[in-house]
Amino acid sequence: MRLPWEHSRGFHEWESTTPVVDALGAVVGMISVVIGGNAALSLWFAMRDGDDAGILQSGIFFVAIALANGFVDLLRRWRRHHY
C-alpha cells in the first residue's frame, strides 16, 4: 500500500505567509519582468545598430538581473526553511 503524496518524502508543505508578503512577491516579479523586457529591447536595438558597447552593457545587465533574481530566490527559500 502506498502512502498518499502529501506524506511522501518529496512533499514539503510550505508555511503560509502573510498577504502583504505574497503581494510584494508578485510586485517584485512583475517589476523583474518589466526590467527584463526593457533590457531585451535595449539589447535588440544595440544589435540592430551594431553598437558593440551597448551590446556589452545589455549583456552585463542581463547577468546582473539573473544574479539578483537568484539571490532573492535563495533568500526566500532560506527563510522558508529556517523560520
Residue 2 resides in a domain: no
Q: Which residue has the higher pLDDT, 65 or 7?
A: 65
Report the candidate in 14, 74, 13, 80 with the shortest Cα–Cα distance to residue 4: 13
Q: Which residue has the higher pLDDT, 7 or 47?
A: 47
Residue 25 has what pLDDT? 72
Establish if 50 belongs to a structural domain. yes
Q: What is the pLDDT of residues 13-55, one digit of tens each?
A: 566 566 776 677 778 788 888 988 998 999 999 999 999 999 9
pTM of the model: 0.62
User: Region 58-82: what's the mean pLDDT?
Assistant: 82
- What is the extent of the structural domain holding 39? 34-83
In whole angstroms, what is the distance from residue 34 CA to residue 39 CA?
9
Structural domains of the chain, count: 1
Q: Is residue 46 part of a domain?
A: yes
Alpha carbons 17 and 28: distance in angstroms, whole number: 16
| Whole-angstrom distance, CA of residue 30 vs CA of residue 46 | 24
